Amino acid sequence: MVTVDGIAWSFTFNIITTGFYALIVYGNISWLFPRYYERNQKLTYVILVLLFLTLCGFAKGHLIGYVYNTFFNDKAPQHIEWYRMVYLSINGVIIFMLSFMLRIVLAYFTLKQQTEEILLQKTRAELNLLKSQVQPHFLFNTLNNIYYEAYMEAPKTAGLIERLAMMMRYFLDESPKTVVAISTELNFLENYIELEKIRIRHQIVVNFTKDYQEDYLIPPMLMMTLVENIFKHGIDKLSNENIIKISLVQEGNYLVFKTLNSYFNTPDDQTGLGIENLRKRLIILYGDRFELRTGPVADFYMAHFKIPIS
């Protein structure tokens, strides 16, 4: 006949056992597995698991003995033999193996979900890329058609349209590349300068010095930041004394690109977003093998960078 005390002890025993099993599962899934197994410290993981399971087994045995002797045993205290503690530890090992397999399954489904998300993002990126290619091609072809229509009536306007079309062709075909020919990059810059000049009321004097070998390759859009800053910060649209000096020369195994423009006490753009982004890009490309300086020099504002020849 099952007594009330027997039912209470059975319930208490199951609570203690379940609690220790939950501790094993939680300890492995949330702490041991991610900290050691997933970080490829498998030997450390095995050692800690064995120690953890042994401690849990003996702690469980002692706790069961203490609760039984304190609340459910009217006779002399009974001690759990060592082999019963080993048995309890073996039960813990079984629960641990189940938790290990559960963690592997969770990791598999997490990886599967991440893979599916990456594939979805890749598909979206490819679709956006196709869209970005279709739209510029449409605009580029339209500009060419406008150029031919304008050529007979306004050759100067047609020439500007042609420069804009060439810049768009550069953005479409060249700027995504890792490196481009220097001649291609300079052609883009010259088109940009000519288009910027039409926005200025007075004439701008631009002196562009070039002294380098034609077959060098450079990352695209490096020089654009310094030239763009000239027209953002170094031009007085009401003045007819705007002077711009640009040079790209070879010095040994380095290329030096320098810009000088009339200085109108404009804020130093050395800490501006464009220069800061250029500095970060140069660090990624060249590490510490480059120079980048900006600042006023006499009546001019100077900006230059020096990069190794590739």
Domain boundaries along the sequence of the chain: 4-120, 201-308
Q: Which two tokens stand for residue 154?
A: 């306004």
CB 66 within 8 A of CB 23: no
Both tokens of 298, joined, read: 């006499």
**pLDDT for 304:** 93
Domain 201-308: CATH architecture, name and number where available: 2-Layer Sandwich (3.30)
Whole-Å CA distances, 126 to 190, 245, 285, 305: 32, 42, 26, 35
47 or 2, higher pLDDT: 47
Provide the 3-class DSSP secondary structure of residue 304: strand
Mean residue pLDDT of the chain comes to 78
Q: Is residue 132 within a helix (H) or strand (E), and if so which, with residue range?
A: helix 82-151
Tell me the mean pLDDT in the region 223-250. Answer: 85
Q: Tens digits of per-residue pLDDT, 271-298? A: 567 888 899 899 988 988 999 999 888 8
**Contact of 244 with 259, CB cutoff 8 Å:** yes
Q: Which residue has the higher pLDDT, 61 or 275?
A: 275
pLDDT digits (tens, 9 = 90+) for 134-158: 456 666 666 666 766 676 677 777 7
Q: How would residue 226 be classed by pLDDT, with cut points 50, 70 and 90? A: very high
Distinct helix (H) and strand (E) counts, the chain: 7, 7
For 249, phi and psi rounded to 5 degrees? -130, 155
